[in-house]
Amino acid sequence: MSEIKLKVEYDEYEDGKRIETELEKLAASPEGAALESLIIGDWGQAYENSSEDIVKALVEHKDRFPALRKLFIGDMSFEECEISWIVQSDLSPLLGAFPELQSLKIQGGNELVLSSLKHDKLEELIIISGGLGKDVLSSIASAKLPNLCKLELYLGVDDYGFDGGLEDVLPLIEPDKFPKLTYLGLKNSEIQDEIALAVANAPILDRLETLDLSLGTLTDEGAEVLLASERIKGLKGIDLHYHYMSEEMVKRWQQSGLPADVSDRQQSDDDEDWRYPSITE
């Protein structure tokens, strides 16, 4: 798959380089016409400038990217910008502009809006954040994505924007919401146990191939219910890596014969009983 990443470094931005210009150049080139995957990295002072301008530019040049199937907005490391400081915007115009799009990946939940999530062909929606707001969760719950196979959401913590609760997550696991869903990730969460409890015996599991509850604060409490579930036995993959389970619980998973990843065990601090998901920034 042909893939290009566009970004503007600190020095380049100070020298006047702008990502919209880089996109225009790409749009006018033969690479753009053949491009299948586009990654938008640091668009220059991403903690100050929102993704609005790059969204506008992409929409404006939509006809120059006929082969585009994968889009990632916000690919930047902690060296470039804190995830919670990335200023996003309303990304739904991208769906309208690219009817052939198969995968949309977003990093940064701050000021993220998905006002109208409607797309006939989208197969993957992935959102990485330190805290995903309940308005975004509500937008996803009322989305019309009949072809969605993979939904992967990094829910995060209250401090960084997860202002909802389990009740905002539950609508996402209604079995007929996304009829083609085979991969469900409700991860990187400070309520990972509650999610595990809610999902462990949910009918949606009958349809899924992979359940991803990794990177969060899963303890023996949630793990126990999952392990006891009949429904998870049909899964092809159970991703629980980065967790706070006990050594005994990890052994039980390893001996269960289930296709579970229980690596990267975390231990809470000695002095505080403090547990946190992997991405909280």
Question: Interface with other proteins by CB under 8 A: which residues?
Answer: 7, 9-11, 14, 42, 45, 47-48, 77-80, 82, 85, 281
**Listed residue (49, 41, 47) closest to 23, CA to CA:** 41
Residue 211, helix vs strand vs coil: strand
- Closer residue to other proteins in complex, CB, 21/115: 21
**Listed residue (243, 246, 238) closest to 218, CA to CA:** 243
- Closer residue to other proteins in complex, CB, 11/176: 11
- Closer residue to other proteins in complex, CB, 49/92: 49
- Closer residue to other proteins in complex, CB, 89/102: 89
| 258 phi, psi to nearest 5 deg | -80, 150
Closest distance to other proteins from the beta carbon of 46 (Å): 11
- Closer residue to other proteins in complex, CB, 10/246: 10
Closest distance to other proteins from the beta carbon of 254 (Å): 24
Task: Kindly compute the dihedral angle of the four CA atoms of residues 202, 203, 206, 209, in this order, to the nearest 10 degrees.
Answer: -50
Please report how many Cα atoms fall inside a 13 Å half-sphere around the Cα of residue 173, on the Cβ side: 24
Closest distance to other proteins from the beta carbon of 79 (Å): 4
Closest distance to other proteins from the beta carbon of 228 (Å): 34
In single-letter form, the type of residue at position 90 comes to D
Is 109:279 a contact under the CB 8 Å cutoff? no
Closest distance to other proteins from the beta carbon of 18 (Å): 15
Sequence-distant (6+) residues with CB within 8 A of 194 are 166, 222
Strands 37-40, 70-73: pairing kind: parallel
How many CB atoms are located within 10 Å of the residue 179 CB? 11
Is 111:50 a contact under the CB 8 Å cutoff? yes
Residue 4, helix vs strand vs coil: strand
- Closer residue to other proteins in complex, CB, 45/142: 45
- Closer residue to other proteins in complex, CB, 139/266: 266
Closest distance to other proteins from the beta carbon of 192 (Å): 20
Q: Which helix (H) or strand (E) holds 38?
A: strand 37-40
Using CA atoms, how far residue 4 sits from 26, 32, 55, in Å, is 9, 9, 17
Closest distance to other proteins from the beta carbon of 14 (Å): 7
- Closer residue to other proteins in complex, CB, 13/178: 13
Is 155:108 a contact under the CB 8 Å cutoff? no
| 160 phi, psi to nearest 5 deg | -115, 15
Closest distance to other proteins from the beta carbon of 11 (Å): 8
